[in-house]
Amino acid sequence: MSKLLTLALSKGRIFEETLPLLQAAGITMAESPETSRKLILPTSSPDLRVIIVRASDVPTYVQYGAADLGLAGSDVLMEHGLAGLYVPQGLRIARCRLSVAVPEGFDYEHAVRQGARLRVATKYVEAAREHFAGKGVHVDLIKLYGSMELAPLVGLADAIVDLVSTGGTLRANKLVEVEQIVDVSSRLVVNQAALKLKRAALAPLLAAFAEAVRRREGAAA
Ligand code: ADP
Ligand code: MG
């Protein structure tokens, strides 16, 4: 492993919400991954580079040490597991919740009381299995990789388990949220070996992130 630190980020919401934290740590990026096609991006710090990966792949890059640290949603970590990862702190960014939603007019509570077997479409099969097992509801889980909202509209599923923040996407597709499973936000994940071998380089960055989060919470309070 080199002296250089590699930070794994995903495009979109997590990148947008991480930029201010990097800035507070004194780190800026010359190129945005939204416009650049490069997947390895330098930063203003000669000791830190950013790699752009799919959100669900962040824990994998960090677990194998291809990235020293990364930002991953707690939803992604629930599915992936924490092997090989050190999770120092929640960053309280990209906050939303994992919920069960059904089409308007579908009586979910009634179906559950009747002991009906529900078909549930989701990207989050592990979290969904645990949730419904805990309630004693029988489900057939259908794994999807995106656009979960479509599944009940075309008869693929009775319900979905997906992330909800404003509820706008659900409303646009005539779905209603019937159960909240868990709150979701982003976590910093660090490779356990890097934590020991690159402690000198990592410590100031982790401290700067923690301080940026503290300051922002203070400002919000
Ligand atoms: P992908 O399209 O690769 O599946 P997304 O960009 O939809 O990934 O989501 C990446 C991460 O952003 C998720 O793992 C989650 O932690 C967070 N996220 C997704 N949707 C929302 C939302 N509506 N509000 C806040 N955070 C979200
Ligand atoms: Mg998405």
Answer whether 163 contacts ligand 1 (Cβ < 6 A). yes
Q: Is the pLDDT of residue 220 over 80?
A: no
Beta bridge partners, 122, equal 143, 161
Return the pLDDT at 23: 92
Residue 193: CB partners within 8 Å, gap ≥ 6? Answer: 1, 65
Structure confidence by residue, pLDDT tens digits, 67-78: 999 999 999 999
What's the chain's length in residues? 221
Contact 197, 69 (CB under 8 A): no
**Sheet arrangement for strand 159-164:** 139-143, 118-122, 159-164, 96-103, 175-184
Answer whether 119 contacts ligand 1 (Cβ < 6 A). no
How many angstroms from the chain centroid is the CA of residue 58? Answer: 9
Q: Is the pLDDT of residue 179 over 70?
A: yes
Q: What is the mean pLDDT of the chain?
A: 94
Alpha carbon of 13 to ligand 1 centroid (Å): 7
Alpha carbon of 197 to ligand 1 centroid (Å): 31
Which of 202, 212, 165, 210 lies closest to 184, judged by CA?
165
Return the pLDDT at 1: 46
- Atom number, ligand 1, closest to the C-alpha of residue 186: 16
CA-to-CA distance for 217 and 162, rounded, in angstroms? 27
199-220 helix and 13-24 helix, angle to the nearest 10 degrees: 100
Q: Over the range 61-76, which residues count as b (16 or more CB within 10 Å of their CB) and which as e?
A: bbbeebbbbbbbbbbb
- Picking from 1-15, 61-75, 89-103, 196-210, which range would have the lowest pLDDT averaged per residue? 1-15
- Atom number, ligand 1, closest to the C-alpha of residue 95: 25
Answer whether 96 contacts ligand 1 (Cβ < 6 A). yes
CA-to-CA distance for 30 and 9, rounded, in angstroms? 15
CA atoms within 13 A on the CB side of 20: 12
Answer whether 58 contacts ligand 1 (Cβ < 6 A). no
CA-to-CA distance for 66 and 64, rounded, in angstroms? 6
Alpha carbon of 125 to ligand 2 centroid (Å): 16
CA-to-CA distance for 116 and 110, rounded, in angstroms? 9
Pick the residue whose CA is nearest to atom 15 on ligand 1.
73
Question: With bands split at pLDDT 50, 70 and 90, how would you rate the model's confidence at 3?
Answer: low
Structure confidence by residue, pLDDT tens digits, 131-162: 999 999 999 999 999 999 999 999 999 999 99
Structure confidence by residue, pLDDT tens digits, 32-45: 888 999 999 999 99
Structure confidence by residue, pLDDT tens digits, 75-115: 999 999 999 999 987 888 999 999 999 999 999 999 999 99
Look up the pTM and report it.
0.93
